[in-house]
């Protein structure tokens, strides 16, 4: 298992968090066609390499985080509060 350094709680085991998946830009729900919306819901790049993803520290500070992780080595490059930039 891996350690994720939470900006508020420090390094914690990954199973304290909920993994919410890679970040994909959300289309405007008012304007998106059904196909665009379903693409957003279902399609994933699922890269083997550095990805930007959303985690939730459910057993700690209960905040949403933006994490950059390498999906082959599981190295973590950065963890920041969600919405603080660096998101696609």
Partner 1 sequence: MTETLSSARELSRALEAMQRQLLEAALRRPRYEVLPLDGTADAVVDHVPREVTVTVTASPRRGMEPTLALSESLARQGYRVVPHLAARLVIDESHLRDMLCRISEAGIRDIFVIAGDGEPAGVFPDSLRLLSALREGQGDGLGQHLEQVGVAGYPEGHPDVSDAQLTRALLAKQPSSTYLVTQLCFSARTVSAWVDRMRAAGVSLPVYPGVAGVVDQRKLLRVAQRIGVGQSVRFLRKHHGLLRLLSPGGYRPDGLVRELASRLAPSADDMAGLHVYTLGAVAATERWRREALEQTLEAVDRHRSRRRRVAPPSRYSALALVRHGVTGQAWPRAWDRHEPRDGYDVVIVGGGVHGLATAYYLATNHGIDNVAVLEKSYIGSGGSGRNTAILRSNYLTAEGVQFYDRSLQLYRRLAEELNFNVMFSRRGHLTLAHSDASLRTMRWRAEVNKLSGVDSEVIDADEVQRLVPYLDTSTAARYPILGALYHPPGGIIRHDAVVWGYARAASAFGVHVHQDTEVTGIDVNDGRVRGVQTTRGPIAAPIVVNATAGWSSLISAMAGVRMPVQTFPLQAAVTEPVRPFLHTVVVSGTLHVYMSQTARGEIVFGASVDPFASYSTRGSLDFLEGLASHVLELMPSLATLRVLRQWAGLCDMTPDFAPIMGRTHVEGFLVDVGWGTYGFKAGPVSGEAMAECIATGRTPELISAFGLHRFAEGELVGEKGAAAVGH
Which pair of structure tokens corresponds to residue 80?
């920041």
Q: How far is the CB of 61 from partner 1 (least distance, A)?
A: 18
Given a contact cutoff of 8 angstroms between Cβ atoms, the answer to whether 49 and 72 are in contact is yes
Which residues are CB-neighbours of 69 under 8 A, at least 6 positions away?
Answer: 50, 51, 53, 75, 76, 77
CB of 76 to partner 1, least distance (A): 11
Closest by CA position to 80, among listed 40, 15, 23: 23
In angstroms, what is the minimal distance from the CB of 51 to partner 1? 8
8 counts as binding Zn ion under rule CB under 5 A: yes
65 binds, among Zn ion, partner 1, none (CB under 5 to 8 A by kind): none
Binding letters toward Zn ion, positions 18-57, x by CB under 5 A: ---------------------------------------x
Bridge partners (DSSP) of residue 33 are none
Which residues of the shown chain bind Zn ion in the complex (CB under 5 A)? 6, 8-9, 57, 60-61
């Amino acid at each position: 298992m891996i350690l994720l350094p939470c900006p508020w709680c420090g390094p914690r085991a990954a199973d304290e968090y909920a993994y919410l998946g890679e970040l994909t830009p959300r289309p405007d729900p008012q304007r998106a066609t059904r196909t665009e919306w379903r693409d957003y819901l279902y399609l994933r790049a699922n890269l083997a390499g550095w990805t930007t993803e959303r985690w939730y520290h459910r057993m700690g500070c209960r905040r949403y985080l933006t994490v950059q992780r390498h999906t082959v080595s599981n190295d973590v490059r950065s963890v920041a509060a969600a919405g603080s930039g660096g998101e696609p």
